[in-house]
Structure 1
Amino acid sequence: MVATKHYESYPKGDIPSYLAYGFRPAFLLMPLYMIISIVLWVLYYNGYITLGFIQDGISWHIYEMLFGVGFLGMAAFALTGTPELYPGTVPIVGKTLRNLFGLWILGRVTFWTMSIISVYPAAIINIVLFAWLTVLIAKPIFKDPAKRNVSIAYAFVAVQIVQIWFFLSVAGIVSIAPWEVLKIALGVFMVLIVLAIRRVNTETINEILEHEGAMKKYFLLVLLLII
């Protein structure tokens, strides 16, 4: 089956199990980070703490749910799914995977401390982080002669554009509230999710139908229904 062909291109060497697939470090980090973010938001919302990271706590919360937690979901899907969708693509594992998620952690630290270090370090690190992920998943997509899933690559670029817009807003370079930009970001994320789900469902159904002659049975059933 197509979903197992990526093993043929898997890198050689001793790779730790938690860095063996793209989804593993993402899913290890996600629960802990979601708990920390939600606890901080609840404390802020009830007036127990203040968040001086950006102009308002709502923008902090939305950004971290979308670009903090959301990045982990995007990375898990893209880095694990791309080698399966495009046989011959070398899976991103080991050192590269470690460095990518290390940069994600640095991005969270710089974002949380923007009131101390200013917005620019956080902006640069998080923009570079998304650019890196976009390049990793876009390369096999654009190498594909059929250009399948190119809409997913464009959606990643759209997410990056909105993120840049957000940081320009936080820095006061553009005259729009950060949370207004984040509402647009939410819409872009929803489009990306729909595109990803559509691709996964199509690939799964095709594999099921092609397995052990199921495709012939499917067309025979359709023909009988038509008759």
Structure 2
Amino acid sequence: MAKGRAGMTEASSAGTRTPLWLQGGFRLLFLGGAAWALIVVTLWVGVLDGFWTLPTAMAPLAWHQHEMLFGYLGAVIAGFLSAAIPNWTGRPIATGWPVAAFVGLWAMARIAVLFSASISPVLAAVLDVGFLLMLFGYAARQIFAAGNRNKPILIVLLLFAVACGLDHAAAMGLTGDPAIGMRAGFALVLFLIAIIGGRIIPAFTRNWLVKKGDAQALPILANRFDHALLAITAMALAGWVFASTAHPVASLLLVAGLLHAVRLTRWAGLRTTADPLVFVLHVSYAWLPAGLLLLGAAILWPIVPASSAMHALGAGAMASMTLAVMTRATRGHTGHPLEADGATVAIYALVNLGALLRVAAPLLSFDYMLSIHLAGGLWASAFLLFILVYGRMALRRPAGAHA
């Protein structure tokens, strides 16, 4: 993500009064989200191995899904918006105690959900949904004050908070479908990837190709094809949320997956292999059509594991895309060059290899749990490496920068 006017002035606007780690919510939210993803995967694998039980009121699988979706992704979405909204609107970046309070609320919600068997499932739900509603309120205030065009994202944010509440209600036995909140949250994040990915991937690719002097057959920016694709994707995902086993829904998912694959070919991704920061966006987006195709196939043909489809979309599309965005945004908003070093390339390789192994695990001939451990280890290593490398970038000024 290129650094905009608001991002370029964040240090000067905050001055020396505000600690660096409170100059923009993305610093702590990206790091906290990555650390939480690492913790959740570790705890979940331990549950599968029978090493421990979790002190949550949720079923272990429901907790794992909830925390990766609303815990980890909630933090990343909030971090992304804290960096992107000032660029969209030209308004000042949030700093100081509001950032500390916001991140603190997210952390309290994670602890409350994990220990909800002892604390209170209702309190956990209030804190969890409250965090997302605060994010919605911040985004709405900034976007409406600036008259910005990104108002549709507000609808997605509000629905994401509703989905989080539904997931808590399901865990308490208050809904007829125990997975409707999870599917709704999943669908909304996938739709965000389709919307935002469709903006930033061709734009960043065009900019890089033009900079390199390769201006022939540039990526196609959003047009009527993309608008139709988003409409079909919305229908397919909505159908999956409310009728997850219906064959017409499966057909829509297959059509959406094919159209996203076509969309990806319009962005000239293979010409960007020399720049991992750009190329990884294309690789990450490729998980979206793959996952949608697998999801549709799993409904029509039970031989296709539904878990493979879900992990293609979750461990693949969501995790890979968020790490791609977090690395780029952290560099762009902390004064570091938009170049991928060896550690950054390793982050991308580890998360994608981990996702690939997890998707293939049910189909491999060797021990399933061994596959799960290897996939989890690779995937978690990507987040650990992100914390070690990008934590320093987020929490320290670059060499030569003035306080």
**TM-score, with structure 1 as normaliser:** 0.81
Selected match of 1:106 from 93, 105, 108: 108
> Structure 2 vs 1, CA of residues 98 and 8 (structure 1 numbering), >3 Å: closer, same or farther?
same
Q: Is the 8 A contact 1:111 1:122 kept in 2?
A: yes
Structure 1, unpaired ranges of 5+: 219-227
> C-alpha displacement at 1:41, in angstroms?
0.3
Selected match of 2:33 from 27, 30, 35: 30
> C-alpha displacement at 1:172, in angstroms?
2.4
Q: Is the 8 A contact 2:14 2:23 kept in 1?
A: no
One-letter amino acid matched to 2:185: A
Listed one character per residue, the Cα deviations across residues 96-128 of structure 1 (whole Å, up to 9, x for unaligned) are: 111101111100111011111221100111111
Question: Relative contact order, CA 8 A, sep 6+: which one is greater?
Answer: 1
Who is 1:61 aligned against?
64
Selected match of 1:96 from 95, 98, 123: 98
One-letter amino acid matched to 2:83: T
Q: Does 1:45 align with 2:48?
A: yes
Q: Is the 8 A contact 1:3 1:84 kept in 2?
A: yes
> C-alpha displacement at 1:204, in angstroms?
5.1
Who is 1:125 aligned against?
127
Q: Is the 8 A contact 2:164 2:185 kept in 1?
A: yes
> C-alpha displacement at 1:164, in angstroms?
1.4
> Structure 2 vs 1, CA of residues 94 and 199 (structure 1 numbering), >3 Å: closer, same or farther?
farther
Distance, in Å, in 2 between the alignment partners of 1:136 and 1:156 is 11
> C-alpha displacement at 1:169, in angstroms?
1.6
One-letter amino acid matched to 2:70: F
**TM-score, with structure 2 as normaliser:** 0.47
Listed one character per residue, the Cα deviations across residues 180-208 of structure 1 (whole Å, up to 9, x for unaligned) are: 421221111111222222343476579x5
Who is 2:140 aligned against?
138
**Backbone CA RMSD of aligned residues:** 2.6
Selected match of 1:18 from 13, 21, 30: 21
> C-alpha displacement at 1:27, in angstroms?
2.4
One-letter amino acid matched to 1:24: R
- SS of alignment partner, residue 15 of structure 1: coil
Who is 2:84 aligned against?
81
Q: Is the 8 A contact 1:3 1:85 kept in 2?
A: no
Structure 2, unpaired ranges of 5+: 217-403
Q: Is the 8 A contact 1:37 1:64 kept in 2?
A: yes
Listed one character per residue, the Cα deviations across residues 46-74 of structure 1 (whole Å, up to 9, x for unaligned) are: 12212241341110000000111101210
Instruction: Give runs of ≥4 in structure 1 deviating > 6 Å.
Output: none
> Structure 2 vs 1, CA of residues 55 and 5 (structure 1 numbering), >3 Å: closer, same or farther?
closer
Q: How many residues align?
A: 209
Q: Percent identity?
A: 21
